[in-house]
Structure formats: C-alpha cells, structure tokens
C-alpha cells in the first residue's frame, strides 16, 4: 500500500477515543489492540514502514518474541502471517561465561513447551501490524507529526505540523526512546549510557544453530547468536564505542575470524556475513508513565540493555496491560482515561519494567567484573543456578512473560 492511500487528518477531524503516536511495533500493536477492543482509534506516524517482502534480505534488526508476545500477536490476528512469512523458532538457549567457563542452559522441553520463542525481523512485525490496522478500522495518519497538545477536562487536542488538529479522550505515546511527546508532557527520565554499541549482522556458520540461541559473556560485553529461519544466525555483539567502530571497519575476512574467536567457535568457523551496523546502548526509564489523559509505552517509557533480548517483549506487555485496564474501566461504565484508571496501568507496568530493567543492568555489571575472586564467585553462582531447577524454571517463565 502506498503512502498516498493513507488518511491525512482533516482540519477538524471527528472525536476519537484514543490517539496513538508512533507506528513502530509497539505503537502499531497498541492501536490494533485498542481498535479490536472497540475503541475509536487513530495512529499517527511520521514515516510509513518499508513494505516487507520475502524476496528481500533479512532485516538486520530482529527481535526474539517471547511466548507472551506471540500470544498477544495471535489475539490480534497477525501471528499466523508473521510465522508463515519468515520466523526462526528456537527451543533452547545456552549462555556461558568466557572468563569462568560457567554455563547455564534452558530447554523448552523442561518447561513442557515446544519452543522458547521466535526470532523475527522488526520490519516484518511492523509491516504486518500496519497492514492489519486498516481492516480493524484504525485511522492511519501518515505522515503526521505532533507539534503540541493541550489536555482538557474530558479530552486532549493534538496540534499537527501541517496545521491540522485531532481530538481524543486519551493520547498514547509510543514514539520511541527520544519521545518528543514525553518531553512535551514534562516527563523526565533517568538511567545511564553504557558507552557501548551493539554491532549487528547475519552470519553463516560451519555448523547449524540447532534452533538454539547462543550467548557468550566476554570482558567487553555479551555476544548473542540468534537462530534465523534460513539457517544463519543473527549476531548482537555489545562492544565499547571504540571497539565497535573498529569492528565495523574490519574487512569481512578479519571480521569473520574475530567473530569466530569471540564465539569460541561454538558453531564452527563463521563463513560469511552480511553488511554490519551498530546502535548505541543505554538504560532509560521514564519517571512516570502517566500524565493527564496521557500514557507512555514501549521505548518511550523504557529502554533496556539488549543482553536479555526483552525490550520489545516489555513493550508488548505494556500494550496488553493498557488494553486490559482500559477495557475493564469502560465496561464498568467509568471514564477509561480518568487519572485513577491510567494510574493503575502506570503503576503496574512501571514497577514490572523497572524490576526487569534494573535486573538486566545488574547482570551487565556482574559480567563486567574482572577481579579473579569476583569472576570465581560469578562462576559459582551460575553453576548453582543451573542446578537449581525451580529457580531456573522461574527465570524461564518470567522471560516467557508468564
């Protein structure tokens, strides 16, 4: 579908229940979930997603969808299309420490499940959701840029860059980690810059990935090899800024050799690679997820270290929670955008997201230890955890979103 087919906001459009700003994976899922729940919904996005085609090279940005995310996408009627297009299921995860040699393994069979999750291209998920919006009755406003908004007693008026305006009872900001709407709402953030970049590429290896996600903790940061549908692995290699820049500039031959060493040749030699890219890593949490008739979700609310691959999954859990809270309030005859209703969503999700984000941060700090006694203690802890089946099962269920 071309951009010319998208609806542009009229000078004075009809009133809406919800206006979602940001059409990435989380924003599009939120708009679809709310529309399917009976809310009159609009989605505002500055740039339409690139059409996805199976003939295209696999997108460098991929996400490991947990069972909770897959369940939500299935409820929204898009998971069958995503899975059938191109997804890499994985049933096992193996994590090991380069310094102590300690390892921990997770197997879906131990949890009575077939799979731990699927590795899917970001663009595929976004494009599939984007296409589903029209049939769900979502007004897609694209290109659209919010220049300001005014919250009144019963609704919010959004002022757009083209001079148009839009009225809704609730505004949902899903406009990314740099969220302009969060800034307009006066919501501060806290966190830290990891001074690292994640180098990403898709590689072919001598041995098959065996539907296993592999992750090795190195002194410079974690390296993940994620199983793609076509037999290759997607790498996410966290490195200090200068090291990331050096790795990006390596010849392919030198890169393949360094990656093989970094991965301990766990899948044999690395034999080919796509182009490489890198993106900065930081921890960022919004001080609150709520303002008057306004909520944050996804990266606008929280940005986390990719070592656990949970960023998008946390955002999709935000979506499910917001939908459930709004539906319950509406069905009880209450104002679904009232402060006390939004506070319920904000408290639940901020508490859960903060716990996860801080947990990932602590894990990153622990694996940055260099002192031999601390490395030995870390190794002992990992070995004990691998033997404590109930605790390991709890971690697996948490990662799955249950």
Enumerate residues 6+ apart whose C-beta is below 8 A from 5.
Answer: none
Position of tokens 């182009």? 275
Coil, helix or strand for 280?
A: strand
Q: Residue 340 corresponds to which tokens in the numbers above?
A: 């006390």
Q: Determine the pLDDT at residue 110.
A: 83
Task: Report the pLDDT averaged over residues 16-40.
Answer: 97
Q: Determine the pLDDT at residue 47.
A: 92
Residue 307 pLDDT > 90: no
Q: Determine the pLDDT at residue 27.
A: 98
Q: Determine the pLDDT at residue 387.
A: 64
Q: Determine the pLDDT at residue 341.
A: 97
Q: Determine the pLDDT at residue 379.
A: 63
Burial class of residue 177, CB neighbours in 10 A (0-12, 13-18, 19+): middle
Q: How far apart are CA 317 and CA 314, in angstroms?
A: 5
Cα–Cα nearest to 43, from 115, 138, 163:
138
Q: Determine the pLDDT at residue 3.
A: 30
Q: Determine the pLDDT at residue 190.
A: 93
Residue count of the chain: 402
Q: Residue 325 corresponds to which tokens in the numbers above?
A: 């809270």
Q: How far apart are CA 197 and CA 161, in angstroms?
A: 33
- Cα dihedral across residues 327, 329, 335, 339: positive or negative: negative
Q: Determine the pLDDT at residue 12.
A: 45
Q: How far apart are CA 16 and CA 312, in angstroms?
A: 27
Q: Give the alpha-carbon dihedral of 74, 75, 76, 79, to 10 degrees.
A: 0
CB 32 within 8 A of CB 132: yes
Q: Determine the pLDDT at residue 15.
A: 72
CB 399 within 8 A of CB 66: yes
CB 31 within 8 A of CB 75: no
Residue 368 pLDDT > 80: no
Which tens digit of pLDDT belongs to each residue from 153-209? 899 999 999 999 999 999 999 999 999 999 999 999 998 888 899 999 999 999 999
Which tens digit of pLDDT belongs to each residue from 230-282? 999 999 999 999 999 999 999 999 999 999 999 999 999 999 999 999 999 98
Cα–Cα nearest to 54, from 87, 90, 89, 5:
87
Beta bridge partners of 205: 270
Enumerate residues 6+ apart whose C-beta is below 8 A from 236.
Answer: 198, 199, 200, 222, 223, 224, 226, 306, 309
Percent of the chain with pLDDT over 70: 85
Q: How far apart are CA 324 and CA 328, in angstroms?
A: 6
Q: Which one is predicted more confidently, 30 or 359?
A: 30
Residue 32 pLDDT > 70: yes
Instruction: Look up the pTM and report it.
Output: 0.88
> Could you please report the per-residue DSSP string of 14-66?
PPEEEEEE--SHHHHHHHHHHHHTT--EEEE-SSPPPPP-TTSPPPS-EEEE-
Q: Determine the pLDDT at residue 98.
A: 76
Q: How far apart are CA 300 and CA 285, in angstroms?
A: 9
Coil, helix or strand for 322?
A: helix
| Residue 131 backbone dihedrals phi, psi, to 5 degrees | -65, -35
Q: How far lies 366's CA from each of 116, 212, 343, 375, 382, in Å?
A: 25, 24, 34, 9, 11
CB 302 within 8 A of CB 179: no
Q: What is the 3-state secondary structure (H, E, C) of 224-252?
A: EEEECCCCCEEEEEEEEHHHHHHHHHCCH
Q: Which one is predicted more confidently, 380 or 198?
A: 198
Q: Residue 4 — pLDDT band, cuts 50, 70, 90?
A: very low
Q: How far apart are CA 1 and CA 110, in angstroms?
A: 44
Which tens digit of pLDDT belongs to each residue from 326-355? 999 999 999 999 999 999 999 999 988 887
Q: How far lies 68's CA from each of 79, 89, 119, in Å?
A: 12, 15, 14
Residue 299 pLDDT > 60: yes
Q: Residue 380 — pLDDT band, cuts 50, 70, 90?
A: low
Q: What is the mean pLDDT of the chain?
A: 88
Q: Determine the pLDDT at residue 381.
A: 65
Which tens digit of pLDDT belongs to each residue from 92-145? 999 888 777 778 888 888 878 889 999 999 999 999 999 999 899 999 999 999
Give the chain's domains with CATH numbers. Answer: 3-365 (3.50.50.60)
Q: Residue 308 — pLDDT band, cuts 50, 70, 90?
A: low
Q: How far apart are CA 29 and CA 37, in angstroms?
A: 12
Percent of the chain with pLDDT over 90: 70
């Amino acid at each position: 579908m071309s951009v010319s087919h998208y609806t542009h906001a009229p000078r004075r459009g009809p009133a809406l229940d919800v206006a979602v700003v940001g059409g990435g994976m989380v924003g599009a899922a939120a708009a679809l979930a709310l529309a399917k729940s009976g809310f009159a919904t609009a989605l505002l996005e500055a740039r339409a997603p690139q059409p996805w085609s199976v003939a295209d090279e696999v997108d460098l940005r991929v996400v490991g969808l947990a069972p909770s995310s897959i369940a939500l996408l299935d409820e929204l009627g898009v998971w069958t299309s995503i899975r059938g297009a191109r997804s890499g299921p994985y049933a096992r995860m193996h994590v090991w420490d380069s310094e102590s040699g300690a390892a921990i393994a997770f197997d879906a069979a131990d949890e009575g499940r077939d799979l731990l999750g699927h590795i899917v291209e970001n663009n595929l998920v976004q494009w599939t959701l984007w296409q589903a919006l029209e049939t769900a009755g979502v007004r897609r406003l694209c290109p659209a840029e919010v220049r300001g908004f005014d919250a009144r007693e019963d609704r919010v008026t959004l002022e757009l860059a083209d001079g148009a305006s839009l009225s809704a009872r609730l505004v949902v900001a899903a406009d990314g980690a740099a969220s302009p709407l969060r800034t307009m709402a006066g919501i501060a953030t806290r966190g830290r810059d990891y001074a690292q970049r994640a180098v990403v590429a898709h590689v072919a290896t001598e041995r098959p990935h065996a539907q296993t996600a592999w992750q090795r903790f190195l002194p410079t940061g974690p390296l993940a090899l994620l199983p793609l549908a076509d037999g290759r692995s997607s790498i996410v290699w966290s490195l200090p800024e200068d090291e990331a820049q050096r790795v990006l500039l390596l010849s392919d031959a030198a890169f393949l050799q360094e990656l093989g060493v970094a991965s301990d040749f766990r899948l044999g030699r690395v034999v080919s690679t796509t182009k490489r890219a890198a993106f900065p890593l930081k921890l960022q949490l919004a001080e609150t997820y709520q303002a008057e008739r306004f909520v944050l979700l996804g990266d606008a609310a929280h940005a986390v270290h990719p070592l656990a691959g949970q960023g998008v999954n946390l955002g999709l859990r935000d979506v499910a929670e917001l939908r459930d809270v709004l539906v319950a309030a509406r069905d009880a005859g209450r104002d679904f955008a009232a402060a006390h209703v939004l506070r319920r969503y904000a408290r639940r999700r901020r508490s859960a997201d903060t716990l996860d984000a801080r947990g990932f941060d602590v894990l990153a700090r622990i694996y940055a230890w260099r002192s031999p006694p601390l490395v030995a203690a870390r190794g002992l802890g990992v070995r004990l955890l691998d033997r404590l089946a109930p605790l390991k099962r709890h971690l697996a269920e948490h990662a799955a979103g249950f």
